[in-house]
Amino acid sequence: MAVILGYWDIRRLADAIRLLLEYTASTYEEKYRYVGDAPGCDRSQWLSDKFTLGLDFPNLPYLLDGARWLTKSNVVLCYIARDDNLCGETEEEKSHEDILEKEVMDSSNQLARVCSSPDFEKLKPEFLKALPEKTKFFAQFLGKRSWFAGGKPASQTCMFEPKCLEAFPNLKAFVAGFQDLKKMSASMKSSYFLPSHVLVLVWGAGPAHAAWTLPRRG
């Protein structure tokens, strides 16, 4: 039976989940809600059934796997990772995953706040100015490992502005290695791969589809 992933028709918090589902060859479907154009956006498609699905803590994204409903993006990621033995095995690997999970979420939320702000053009230079220092910490944390949490991809992915990687060869190699994974490469080249959520939030670009269920093949 296919699991169902519910989210807006953007990448944002569901992007890592989609990629992990692709990597694990999971059979899944997506229930999109049209987010609407910025700056106002339109949440009506989600609000109309938010409290009718039986979720303990109604929110997006959510994952339906049989009778099990899960919310919170990191919870969903960890659930999929545990099911496919992608979690850390040693205490060191588990600690790395825990740290990385929080840092990635903090960075993602910071980027989202900048991109969704009406003062985007004013905030962007300051964000980009601070990015090299933030990126340096990720590079130091990765060190000489191929993956952040050990010998296999973890349940977290990082987002970078392309030029900020120039000073960090290990991060460039990490991103290239991730994109070169057979299933990741195929997914990113497919018609299912959504454009950047930044465009949707700031400039109102991106797909203008209504809510539907899109089948995905594992």
pLDDT in tens, 31-41: 988 876 655 67
- What 66-74 contacts at long range (C-beta under 8 Å, 24+ apart), as own/partner pairs, is 66/1, 73/13, 73/14, 73/16, 73/17, 74/101, 74/105, 74/155
The two tokens of residue 179 are: 């994109």
Output 183 or 170, whichever has higher pLDDT: 170
- Mean pLDDT of the 207-212 span: 33
The two tokens of residue 80 are: 């999929």
Would you say residue 217 has pLDDT above 60?
Answer: no
- Mean pLDDT of the 198-204 span: 38
Query: What is the pLDDT at residue 38?
Result: 59
Q: Where are the domains of the chain?
A: 3-85+184-216, 91-181
- Distance between CA atoms of residues 25 and 16, nearest Å: 14
Query: What is the pLDDT at residue 113?
Result: 85
Cβ atoms of 178 and 157 closer than 8 Å: yes
Would you say residue 216 has pLDDT above 70?
Answer: no
Q: What is the pLDDT of residues 21-71, one digit of tens each?
A: 988 889 999 998 887 665 567 788 888 989 999 999 999 999 999 999 999
Is the model's pTM score more than 0.85?
Answer: no
- Distance between CA atoms of residues 20 and 184, nearest Å: 9
11-20, 29-38, 78-87, 180-189: lowest mean pLDDT where?
Answer: 180-189
Would you say residue 199 has pLDDT above 80?
Answer: no
- Mean pLDDT of the 118-132 span: 88
Output 192 or 79, whichever has higher pLDDT: 79
Per CATH, which fold does 91-181 belong to?
Answer: Glutathione S-transferase Yfyf (Class Pi); Chain A, domain 2 (1.20.1050)
CATH code of the domain made up of 3-85+184-216: 3.40.30.10
